[in-house]
């Protein structure tokens, strides 16, 4: 089964603002329009980046219930997508794009097929509705302890 959620896309404006850019996409999906600067300040993001716990706390500042889950699995992720909720995940992008590993990067999962994940990558020039093999995604996600930031059901 293939399913993609229509989520607005925003490119990150600084090298360290992937978290706020992803948060901004999810907020826009919910009808809350903010600038990256507003979201970055609300998150408390610095040049060291954003943590997986700062993002749900920032959602709550905007009146949205969200939570971060460590060691989530692909079934957790698929359930959120099937129920129409985009998911922010932390990955090591080297497993997908190559290059130096060991760095965290946030992306927004917007869909999947049996062997493929569809996502928005705020750091890529054409980062909207990108696709990667499930195997590569799982390696990238496992490298960062499978962090998932999900919108909680109302």
Quick one: what percent of the chain has pLDDT higher than 90? 92
Range list of H helices, 44-130: 54-61, 74-82, 94-97
Mean pLDDT of 18-25: 98
**DSSP code, position 114:** T
Q: Is domain 3-151 annotated with CATH 3.90.70.10?
A: yes
Confidence of residue 122 (pLDDT cuts 50, 70, 90): very high
**pLDDT tens-place string over residues 33-68:** 999 999 999 999 999 999 999 999 999 999 999 999
User: Does 99 have pLDDT greater than 90?
Assistant: no
pTM: 0.96
Tell me the C-alpha to C-alpha distance, in Å, between residue 121 and each of 90, 91, 148. 11, 11, 15
User: Does 3 have pLDDT greater than 80?
Assistant: no
CA distance 31 to 54: 21
CA distance 67 to 75: 17
User: Does 128 have pLDDT greater than 60?
Assistant: yes
Confidence of residue 2 (pLDDT cuts 50, 70, 90): low
Tell me the C-alpha to C-alpha distance, in Å, between residue 88 and each of 97, 99, 100. 18, 22, 22
Token duo for residue 106: 């946030």
Confidence of residue 100 (pLDDT cuts 50, 70, 90): confident
Confidence of residue 129 (pLDDT cuts 50, 70, 90): very high
Instruction: State residue 154's pLDDT score.
Output: 65
Token duo for residue 76: 């957790």
User: Does 86 have pLDDT greater than 80?
Assistant: yes
- Domains in the chain: boundaries: 3-151
């Amino acid at each position: 089964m293939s399913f993609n959620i229509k989520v607005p896309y925003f490119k990150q404006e600084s090298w360290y603002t992937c978290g706020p850019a992803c948060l901004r996409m999810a907020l826009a999906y919910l009808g809350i329009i903010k600038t990256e600067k507003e979201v970055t300040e609300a998150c408390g993001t610095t040049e060291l980046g954003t943590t997986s716990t700062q993002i749900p706390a920032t959602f709550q500042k905007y009146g949205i219930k969200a939570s971060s889950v460590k060691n989530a699995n692909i079934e957790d992720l698929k359930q959120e997508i099937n129920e129409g909720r985009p998911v922010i995940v932390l990955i090591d992008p080297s497993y997908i794009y190559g290059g130096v590993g060991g760095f965290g990067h946030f992306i927004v999962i917007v869909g999947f097929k049996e062997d493929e994940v569809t996502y928005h990558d705020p750091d890529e020039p054409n980062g909207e509705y990108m696709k990667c093999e499930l195997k590569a995604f799982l390696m990238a996600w496992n490298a960062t302890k499978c962090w998932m930031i999900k919108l909680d059901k109302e």
